[in-house]
């Protein structure tokens, strides 16, 4: 039986509180998320995080969790003992309360207001969204493919919009592939981490499946992270190094890995889904299935590295503003040197992390 695991992520720095760190993070600044939030903040969308569980009572996830279930057999139930799942959940949905971390889709747990064009207008509400936490990896970070498949099937039963999986391994699994296929057939978007094995090892399964959306990580230099797995299966890249998010014991941490880039993309997908869910909105670019989402993301991606598609970053950096505002792709193109300039500006106001790292 093959064990699946979180890609080997890296601890950068852990905080018991963030009284001195209230910045939204370099990745969100680089991708201009504050501008994207003018169009959508993810209200009314449901996302399943299949991982090591979550600290369900973390202050920054208050009101964002709709349900949780343990598939690993842990004595702690769905409660996270590692921190990895809590970190991924926060990247997607940590609330914007002017304290601590803030997620890519901070309004996930709020209902969708119908027939409105901005967040200052209050109208009829349709439904609230939030996170479903599936603990499919045990307290040692490992999980059998049958348990992960059960988590996928459970997510579909909850009628989630998106499944985020920052896990993977070698080989393939018939039962997991069938579960993923059924999820996609049901209209669920399935987003997976490419892996943290660097250039010498191919993209991990299940990100290696053609039907999933495989996510690579970029570092603070605005190029592919050294650890990010390469391969023709990579679709899109997102910030993955020294990402600030929620952590166990009510804390926060900077972690690095494609594990962090994956929920970033899932959060952007939530922004898109929320906008398309609004009552009365007619879109010229429907995003109702996995292939439409992939096409939408890759068409608006900001090209990185080699011109066009490459095995390191796929079609390029995720572009929330272009996706939400239907900006022409050519208008979104900026060169890597400009990206570095923007990044330098963002980093100048972020507290420096410690130099040492430890592999998790």
Tell me the per-residue pLDDT of 243-263, one tens digit each, with 9 for 90 and over: 999 999 999 999 999 999 999
Confidence band, pLDDT 50/70/90 cuts, at residue 203? very high
User: Could you tell me if 53 and 74 are in contact, meaning their C-beta atoms sit under 8 angstroms apart?
Assistant: yes
Question: In this predicted structure, what is the pLDDT of residue 186?
Answer: 97
Instruction: Dig out the tokens for 233 from the structure.
Output: 């299966």
pLDDT tens-digit map of 3-22: 787 776 666 666 666 654 55
Residue 97: its pLDDT value, please?
A: 81
Pairing relation of β-strands 252-256 and 243-246?
A: antiparallel
Most confident of 9-18, 144-153, 195-204: 144-153
Residue spans of the domains in the chain: they are 3-359
* 3-state percent breakdown (helix, strand, coil) of the chain, nearest 5: 30, 20, 50
pLDDT of residue 290: 96
Beta bridge partners of 243: 255
Across the chain, what does the average pLDDT equal?
85
Residue count of the chain? 360
Mean per-residue pLDDT, 183-188: 97
Residue 177 CB neighbour total at 10 angstroms: 17
Summarised one tens digit per residue, pLDDT across range 48-91 is: 999 999 999 999 998 999 999 999 999 999 999 999 999 999 99
Look at residue 329 in the predicted model and tell me its pLDDT.
41
In the block, residue with structure tokens 């609230």: 128
Higher-confidence position of 351 and 326 = 326
Q: Which pLDDT score is estimated for 279?
A: 44
How far lies 261's CA from each of 127, 146, 147, in Å? 28, 25, 24
Provide the pLDDT confidence category of residue 287 given band limits of 50, 70 and 90: confident
Residues annotated as part of the active site:
51, 84, 259
Among 99-108, 123-132, 139-148, the range scoring the smallest mean pLDDT is 123-132
Residue 352: band (very low, low, confident or very high) from pLDDT cuts 50, 70, 90: very low
The per-residue pLDDT for 330 is 45
Structure confidence at residue 356 (pLDDT)? 36
Residue 352 structure tokens: 């420096």
Using CA atoms, how far apart are residues 6 and 8, in angstroms rounded to an integer? 6
pLDDT value of position 134: 98
The Cα 239–Cα 25 span in angstroms is: 10
Write down the residue that tokens 């099937």 correspond to.
153
User: Which pLDDT belongs to residue 359?
Assistant: 31
Closest CA to 164 of 44, 49, 7, 297: 49
**Cα R_g (the chain), whole angstroms:** 18
What local confidence, expressed as pLDDT, does residue 347 receive?
A: 53
Neighbour tally for 354: CB within 10 Å: 10
Contact partners, residue 334, CB within 8 Å, separation at least 6: 302
Q: Is 79 helix (H, G, I), strand (E, B) or coil?
A: strand
**Which CATH number fits the domain 3-359, given the four candidates 3.40.50.850, 3.40.50.2300, 3.40.47.10, 3.40.50.200?**
3.40.50.200
Q: C-alpha 53: how far from its chain's center? A: 15
| pTM score | 0.86
Mean pLDDT of 266-287: 77
| pLDDT score, position 311 | 94
């Amino acid at each position: 039986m093959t064990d699946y695991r979180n890609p080997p992520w890296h601890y950068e720095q852990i905080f018991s509180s963030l009284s001195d760190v209230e910045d939204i993070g370099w990745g969100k600044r680089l991708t201009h998320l504050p501008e994207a939030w003018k169009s959508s903040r993810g209200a009314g969308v449901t996302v399943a995080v299949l991982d090591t569980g979550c600290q369900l009572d973390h202050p920054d996830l208050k009101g964002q969790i709709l349900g949780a279930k343990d598939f690993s057999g842990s004595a702690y139930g769905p409660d996270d003992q590692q921190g990895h799942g809590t970190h991924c959940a926060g990247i997607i949905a940590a609330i914007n309360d002017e304290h601590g971390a803030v997620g890519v889709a901070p309004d996930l747990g709020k209902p969708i207001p119908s027939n409105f064009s901005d967040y200052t207008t209050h109208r009829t509400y349709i439904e609230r969204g939030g996170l479903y936490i599936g603990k499919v990896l045990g307290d040692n970070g490992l999980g059998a493919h049958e348990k992960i498949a059960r988590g996928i099937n459970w997510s579909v039963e909850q009628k989630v919009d998106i499944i985020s999986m920052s896990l993977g391994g070698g080989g393939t699994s018939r039962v997991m592939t069938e579960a993923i296929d059924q999820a996609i057939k049901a209209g669920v978007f399935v987003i997976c981490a490419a892996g943290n094995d660097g250039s010498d090892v191919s993209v991990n399964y299940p990100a290696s499946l053609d039907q999933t959306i495989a996510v690579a990580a970029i570092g603070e230099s605005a190029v592919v992270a050294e650890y990010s797995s390469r391969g023709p299966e990579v679709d899109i890249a997102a910030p993955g190094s020294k990402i600030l998010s929620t952590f166990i014991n009510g804390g926060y941490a900077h972690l690095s890995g494609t594990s962090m880039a994956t929920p970033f993309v899932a959060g952007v997908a939530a922004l898109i889904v929320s906008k398309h869910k609004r009552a009365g909105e007619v879109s010229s670019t429907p995003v109702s299935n996995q292939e439409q989402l992939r096409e939408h993301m890759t068409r608006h991606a900001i090209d990185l590295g080699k011109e066009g598609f490459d095995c390191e970053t796929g079609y390029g950096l995720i572009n929330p503003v272009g996706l939400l505002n239907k900006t022409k792709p050519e208008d979104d193109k900026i060169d890597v040197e400009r990206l570095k300039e923007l990044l330098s500006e963002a980093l100048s106001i972020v507290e420096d992390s410690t130099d040492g790292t430890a592999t998790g």
